[in-house]
A and B are shown apart, each in its own frame.
Chain A
Amino acid sequence: MQTRVRGLVGAALLLCAFCTFSALPVKAVQCAIDQVPAATLLMPYFEVDLSNGSNVTSLLAMTNTAATATLTHVTIWTDWGVPALGFDVYFTGYDTQTINLRDVIGSGLIPRTASVGQDPFNTISPRGPRSQDINIPSCNGILPPANLDAAALADLKAKLKGEPIPSSPTLCAGSPRGNQIARGYVTVDVVTGCTALNPSSAGYFSGIASNNNVLVGEMLINALGTNTMWAYPLIHLEAATLAPSSPSFYGRYVGDSGTDGREPLPASYATRFVGPSPTNSSRLLVWRETPAMSGPVACAGGPAWVPLQTTALQLLDEATHAFPAAASLPVAANAIDLAADVANPFTQGLAILQLDHPAMGSRHAQAAVLAAHGLGTLESAFPASQLDDLCANQRYLPLLIDGFENGFVPWAGKTP
């Protein structure tokens, strides 16, 4: 048996450990989507079934890894990439915030936080012994936030369900799906002050957004009624001052100038799949970059870029048979079942997704992919592997050519 030493440690040891931790250099390494403190967190997909509280909901948990307090701006986007709701969340040092999107979208409850100026007695945002608490004057009158009133909540639900917006009945903000499931994605940015702007707003990245890489986080997609939970890391996007015209995550909102400073995501992914079989199945959650939209559009037409062009998924079984499966991933936040939504001739194997599309003009489109497997009555989940690097414009095929693979033949759709 291994021995375990527990108990309180001496003050000197405590101090030493703390010094080691707090002195960590947090150095951004651009172009690698690693799970390290970042200035933006992306939750690439969420679902909240508004018809039943036991059905699926999505949670994001975020931690400020620094002793210094920080302010963040949360934006909930529709599956058309329309900002549907934004609010500020203040973190004292080492603070953790967990947001159940059912609380926000279902009930209009906005997380209550406040800097010391709005919360002088630390009753809203507690301050720990190692936590800095600061005053952010721009948050006066904004933090702690008010919850959504009935009209705003109705608008929010409609936007995320793809229904006409009650306050503007001819306008829609998301794809109509004809159910009670709110769907979209979430970004969380480190910011310098409370703001009514969002990443699609002019000026957001010239004074509001910060390049302070301090956030880490996870996301859970959970259905209590069916006892399922999928857990993933949030996607951590480090920020730095980029050279002009560098590829960047929010490039679509800054004229591809690189001024947002956030590292870009890849376009190609690989992930294992199981099923389709009577007991096993795989579902992919896919975020795709879409052209900038700052607000709703006429329901009758929808965005001009819908549907996004989708290259056939390359499915390979464990005997390396290949099958190009036609798929539809038409919007920014998509879920696709590799049994029900595509013709999949295999029982398990490897799926390769090349998610670039021409709607971003002359540059490549970013994407993110999460996988979830049904294994009989069990569920498991993990993020897909990235195959290219749009920061360095290393596309999938060049990335893998290492000399050994000279003569590599590019994809050619062939059936087994």
Chain B
Amino acid sequence: MSAAIAMRRALTAVLALGLVAAFARPAAAALCTIDPVPGATLLYPIFELDLDSPATNDTVLTVQNVGGSAVIAHLTMWTDWAVPILDLDIYLAGFDVQTLDMKELLLDGMLPVTGSAVSPHGPLAGPRVAFPGCNNTTTPGDGPVYHNPISSQLLGNLQLALTGNFSPMLGGCAGSNRGNRVARGYVTIDANGRCSLLFPTSATYFSSVTTRRNVLVGDLTILRPAAAHAVSLPAVALEAAPEGQSVPGNRTFYGRYLNGDGSDAREPLPTIFEARYFNGGVFFGGGTDFFVWRETAGGSYGSVQCGTNPAWYPLATQPVSYFNEQEGVSDQNESFPIALDVQSTTSLGLPDQFGHAVLDLQHPGVTPLYGAPKAQAWVGWLAVAPARFAGSVPAASFPVSCTP
């Protein structure tokens, strides 16, 4: 029921965003560096699930609470157009771990069942916490004690949205249609202090339900047994500034939903990345996939009429510099036009087999928000040796500048 309501809310996700005045204060020392430490928000920048053949392409997410007391982990699933289509709450006891298999979620319709009354509490897990707004009973219904499975109608709409098809619930299309049945999107998980049916796009989300507790870590694993590989990536941990403080410059991860006021207090992501590529040779005939997550801004965050694109489309992309291992360089006009894009070097027409690429993912859509041309992004790469193995690593980035 809660998930269904959440899905329906996507219809009205285009709400006017409240302007919450923020007062800039000095930030904690480790803000504005994307280091692998516990965060208040986790970004899982990609997931994929082949709806017709989940055994060949599936993604498993895990989230861990490394704090000693319970927290509500609020999961939001986004399409590759950055449209939120599902949210749910996960009660994590102290030092709790939750695993989420996209197959179970998007094919079987099974949501994680947790809660103060149903989640085990080991000896180190701290006391049970009856968070406000939560179903703190053992009776399935509202989250986080979900009634499973979710309705087939909701499930079908999730699948349609994540494959770029018309969703009756959304009244339009919410993602790119790639001509296949591979559901693709990304996930955010926020450390919250109460259960809610709010998306991060909601005007009151950051003033009513989120916390600044930097206690979450996580990872994602893409499983492709038929291709003989699996790869893992750490979830991108975004630290929040301590209570009463701000991220310098108020350029924050969720700033696009807050008119740049910085009230989410989550550190921002970088703009420019350096990624290795392997595109042939003895092993890497499968080339390298670039996973590119980008901040969108401007226009709505809901569905649009199928056959059209969001107002912000396409996100501008600076020419990508492909350096080979002899320092020769080829600049190519690439297009990473949407919030989550996956492109393989096998189709990019690179002249060389090995090297590194510099991706400047600046686009002007964010400039009015931050007063500066600093669009956020994340890049990972996946090199594939067909039928043998693969490896995936987040791309290196150039330091984040939080100040305008």
Given contacts A2-B337, A218-B393, contact A414 B123 (CB under 8 A): yes
- Say how far B179's CB is from chain A's closest CB, in angstroms: 6
**Interface set, chain B 69-126, CB cutoff 8 A to A:** 69, 93-99, 119-126
Given contacts A1-B177, A227-B228, A375-B221, contact A218 B34 (CB under 8 A): no
CB pair B223 A375 closer than 8 Å:
yes
Q: Give complex CA distance A386, B217 in Å.
A: 9
Nearest A residue to B123 by beta-carbon distance?
A414
B334 contacts partner chain A, Cβ-Cβ < 8 Å: yes
CB pair A414 B124 closer than 8 Å:
yes
A311 contacts partner chain B, Cβ-Cβ < 8 Å: no
A138 contacts partner chain B, Cβ-Cβ < 8 Å: no
CB pair A230 B234 closer than 8 Å:
no
Write the B205-230 contact mask toward A (1 if CB under 8 angstroms, else 0): 00000011111010101010100111
CB pair A231 B391 closer than 8 Å:
yes
CB pair B348 A373 closer than 8 Å:
no
CB pair B32 A29 closer than 8 Å:
yes
Chain A residues with Cβ below 8 Å from B176 are 1-2
Nearest A residue to B216 by beta-carbon distance?
A385
- Say how far B167's CB is from chain A's closest CB, in angstroms: 18
A205 contacts partner chain B, Cβ-Cβ < 8 Å: no
B321 contacts partner chain A, Cβ-Cβ < 8 Å: yes
CB pair B398 A24 closer than 8 Å:
yes
A177 contacts partner chain B, Cβ-Cβ < 8 Å: no
Given contacts A128-B323, A378-B223, A380-B221, contact A24 B67 (CB under 8 A): no
A343 contacts partner chain B, Cβ-Cβ < 8 Å: no
Q: Chain B at the A interface: mostly helix, strand, loop or mixed?
A: loop
Q: Give complex CA distance A1, B335 in Å.
A: 13
- Say how far B296's CB is from chain A's closest CB, in angstroms: 14
CB pair B68 A400 closer than 8 Å:
yes
Q: Give complex CA distance A222, B119 in Å.
A: 40
Task: Tally A-B pairs: CB < 8 A.
Answer: 291
B interface residue count range (under 10 / 10 to 19 / 20 to 34 / 35 or more): 35 or more
Q: Give complex CA distance A37, B219 in Å.
A: 23
**Interface set, chain B 246-284, CB cutoff 8 A to A:** 272, 274, 276
Given contacts A37-B396, A272-B64, contact A376 B389 (CB under 8 A): no
A387 contacts partner chain B, Cβ-Cβ < 8 Å: yes
- Say how far A262's CB is from chain B's closest CB, in angstroms: 15
**Interface set, chain A 285-314, CB cutoff 8 A to B:** 314
Chain A residues with Cβ below 8 Å from B37 are 32, 385-387, 389
Given contacts A5-B333, A9-B319, A386-B35, contact A65 B327 (CB under 8 A): no
Nearest B residue to A388 by beta-carbon distance?
B37
Nearest A residue to B317 by beta-carbon distance?
A5
Nearest A residue to B28 by beta-carbon distance?
A392
A363 contacts partner chain B, Cβ-Cβ < 8 Å: no
Q: Give complex CA distance A350, B98 in Å.
A: 10
Chain B residues with Cβ below 8 Å from A378 are 223, 225, 228-230
Task: Pick out which of these stretches binds chain B: A88-96, A157-165, A196-204, A332-340.
Answer: A88-96
Chain B residues with Cβ below 8 Å from A412 are 123-124
Chain A residues with Cβ below 8 Å from B234 are 382-383, 385
Write the B20-47 contact mask toward A (1 if CB under 8 angstroms, else 0): 0000000001101111111000000000
Partner of A33, one of B35, B99, B329: B35
Task: Pick out which of these stretches binds chain A: B7-15, B137-145, B146-154, B353-361.
Answer: B353-361
B203 contacts partner chain A, Cβ-Cβ < 8 Å: no
CB pair A96 B225 closer than 8 Å:
no
Q: Give complex CA distance A33, B230 in Å.
A: 26
**Interface set, chain A 124-151, CB cutoff 8 A to B:** 126-131
Given contacts A20-B360, A229-B391, contact A34 B34 (CB under 8 A): yes
29 contacts between A and B (CB under 8 A): A1-B179, A2-B335, A5-B335, A8-B331, A8-B333, A18-B331, A21-B321, A21-B360, A24-B398, A32-B35, A34-B397, A36-B397, A63-B276, A92-B327, A94-B323, A128-B327, A129-B327, A227-B385, A229-B385, A317-B122, A318-B98, A319-B119, A320-B121, A322-B122, A322-B123, A375-B223, A408-B69, A408-B126, A412-B123
- Contacts beyond the supplied A231-B383, A319-B120, A405-B67: 13 A-B pairs with Cβ under 8 Å: A2-B335, A7-B332, A20-B318, A36-B398, A63-B276, A94-B329, A317-B122, A321-B123, A380-B232, A381-B232, A381-B391, A405-B68, A412-B124
Q: Contact residues of A with B, CB < 8 Å?
A: 1-9, 13-14, 17-18, 20-21, 24-29, 31-37, 61, 63, 65, 92-96, 98, 126-131, 216-218, 220, 222, 224, 227-233, 236, 270, 272, 314, 316-322, 348-350, 352, 373, 375-387, 389, 392, 399-400, 402-405, 408-409, 411-412, 414, 416
